[in-house]
């Protein structure tokens, strides 16, 4: 099956927090049998990456997403993926929004 | 991995400066580390409000400034540190426990960070965080995260 979504996870340094968020997000998507490519990027590099290949979702673990992102990219605040609290709600809401956008 | 504890009565910047100097002297980080971690904390703060838990912070910076990984667990000696929130960088919160993450290699470290944050749901560990010394927290980490072969090395500063 082809990957359903392209998701970028971004933090300040792409070293620790976004990488952890990526791993937990992949686990949750696997549990729900959702295929996705999940990539880690630095927040500063997001506008360039998004212009190059537009994702369905940007999950931000540090601060705010850059204002310059296209309106049809879903922006998700990813702190629950860091702390471990509220992950189910975050992933369910994200997938629900994506499905609504598709229909 | 060697881990350290610390008490400090300075502010956030003073703490990061003091830790940077000591870690550089001990050969954990390069001389570029201090400027980098201060800038990183300013641009992308790391204060975290964890549900039903005291506030924590996990300052860290780019791997290129690090020579050898370590972690330092710090509490304020007479109150709390003030960190800006990771998810709301305009808002400052009191932080009771700081985990300075000195990251050398991002892949392996994610395992560690995942295990550390999983402990936020462990009642025994939360008790340690809330009411015990940084040394006791470090000893708890050595015990609970056996797979990472942590060794407690004593107080770094304080």
Nearest C-alpha neighbor of B12 from the set B1, B24, B22, B20: B20
In chain B, whose CA is at the least distance from the CA of A65?
B87
In chain A, whose CA is at the least distance from the CA of B84?
A63
Helix (H, G, I), strand (E, B) or coil at B98: strand
Domain containing A95 — which CATH number?
Answer: 3.40.50.2300
Q: Do A20 and B40 touch (CB under 8 A)?
A: no
The domain in which residue A80 lies consists of 5-102
* 8 Å CB contact between B4 and B142: no
Q: Do B61 and A14 touch (CB under 8 A)?
A: no
User: B45 at the A interface (CB within 8 A)?
Assistant: yes
Residues of A in contact with B62 (CB under 8 A): 13, 15
- pLDDT category of residue A2 using cuts at 50, 70 and 90: low
User: A13 at the B interface (CB within 8 A)?
Assistant: yes
* Architecture of the domain delimited by B2-153: 3-Layer(aba) Sandwich (3.40)
* 8 Å CB contact between B80 and B95: yes
Give me the pLDDT at residue A12, please. Answer: 74
What predicted TM-score, i.e. pTM, was given to this entire model? 0.87
Nearest Cα of chain B lies from the Cα of A82 at a distance, in angstroms, of 7
ipTM, interface predicted TM-score of the complex: 0.75
Q: A29 is written with which tokens?
A: 């998507």
> How many Cα atoms sit within 13 Å of A29 on the Cβ side?
19
Residues of A in contact with B109 (CB under 8 A): 15-16, 19
Q: How far apart are CA B60 and CA B111, in angstroms?
A: 15
Total domains in the fold of chain A: 1
- In tens, the pLDDT along A42-65 reads 888 899 999 999 999 999 987 777
H helical segments located in B4-131: 12-25, 33-43, 106-118, 123-131
Which of B110, B111, B115 is most worth mutating to test chain A (most A CB atoms within 10 A of its CB)?
B110
Nearest Cα of chain A lies from the Cα of B131 at a distance, in angstroms, of 20
| Residue with more model confidence, B112 or B94 | B94
User: B107 at the A interface (CB within 8 A)?
Assistant: yes
Q: Is the pLDDT of residue A22 over 80?
A: yes
């Amino acid at each position: 099956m082809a990957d359903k979504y392209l998701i970028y996870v971004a933090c300040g340094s792409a070293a620790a927090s976004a990488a952890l968020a990526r791993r937990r997000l992949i686990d949750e998507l696997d549990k729900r049998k959702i295929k996705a490519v999940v990539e880690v990027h630095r927040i500063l590099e997001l506008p360039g990456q998004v212009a190059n290949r537009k994702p369905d979702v940007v999950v931000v673990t540090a601060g705010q997403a850059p204002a310059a992102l296209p309106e049809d990219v879903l922006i998700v605040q990813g702190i629950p993926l860091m702390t471990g609290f509220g992950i189910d709600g975050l992933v369910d809401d994200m997938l629900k929004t994506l499905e609504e956008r598709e229909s | 991995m060697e881990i350290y504890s610390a008490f400090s009565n300075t502010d956030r910047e003073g703490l990061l400066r003091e830790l940077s100097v000591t870690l550089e002297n001990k050969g954990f980080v390069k001389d570029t580390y201090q400027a980098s971690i201060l800038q990183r904390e300013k641009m992308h703060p790391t204060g975290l409000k964890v549900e039903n838990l005291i506030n924590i912070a996990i300052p860290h910076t780019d791997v290129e400034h690090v020579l050898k990984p370590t972690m330092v667990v710090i509490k304020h000696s007479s109150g709390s540190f003030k960190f800006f929130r990771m998810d709301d960088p305009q808002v400052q919160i009191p932080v009771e426990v700081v985990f300075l993450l000195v990251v050398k290699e991002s892949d392996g470290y994610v395992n560690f960070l995942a295990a550390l944050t999983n402990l936020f749901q462990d009642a025994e560990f939360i008790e340690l965080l809330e009411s015990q010394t940084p040394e006791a927290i470090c000893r708890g980490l050595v015990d609970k995260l056996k797979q990472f072969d942590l060794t407690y090395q004593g107080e770094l500063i304080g």
